[in-house]
Amino acid sequence: MKLPPYAELLGLTVAGEEDGSPILTMPWSAGVMGRPGFLHGGAIGGLLEMAAFAALHARYEDGDRPRIKPITVTVDYMRGGREAETFAIGRITRLGTRVANLEAVAWQDDRAKPIALARMNVLLSRP
């Protein structure tokens, strides 16, 4: 799966797959640092957004893939992201003909202790 330029800016790569959704990983670097020793909230939000979009893109063949336009994005920050590799996976909770509801979760060392969750509604524009 080819990730968009914003994902490349964050250093995101696909680390695997679970139930058809790619697991993205973001390495620690100075480019994603917020206050000393912690991830920037925008980098976490970007990782979650890319994970949700990747889950949706994985659902479609390349020729059938709709354009995605975000309607709402809500991020719940649960704990500070530390100087460690961060993972995220997206999930489709509802897929309609014009709107999709997505969720994404980010974690570091322990998947049972997420650092952030996101919920998104996106508009699907078919070619």
Beta bridge partners, 111, equal: none
> For residue 96, what are the β-bridge partners?
none
Answer yes or no: are the C-beta atoms of 19 and 28 closer than 8 Å: no
Q: How far apart are CA 54 and CA 66, in angstroms?
A: 12
pTM for the predicted model, two decimal places? 0.92
CATH code where residue 97 lies: 3.10.129.10
pLDDT tens digits along 45-93: 999 999 999 999 999 877 788 899 999 999 999 999 999 999 999 999 9
Quote the tokens at residue 75: 């991020």
C-alpha separations of 108 from 23, 50, 61, 65, 88 in Å:
12, 16, 30, 30, 9
Range of the domain at 35: 5-125
The structural domain count of the chain equals 1
**pLDDT tens per residue, range 89-115:** 999 999 999 999 999 999 999 999 999
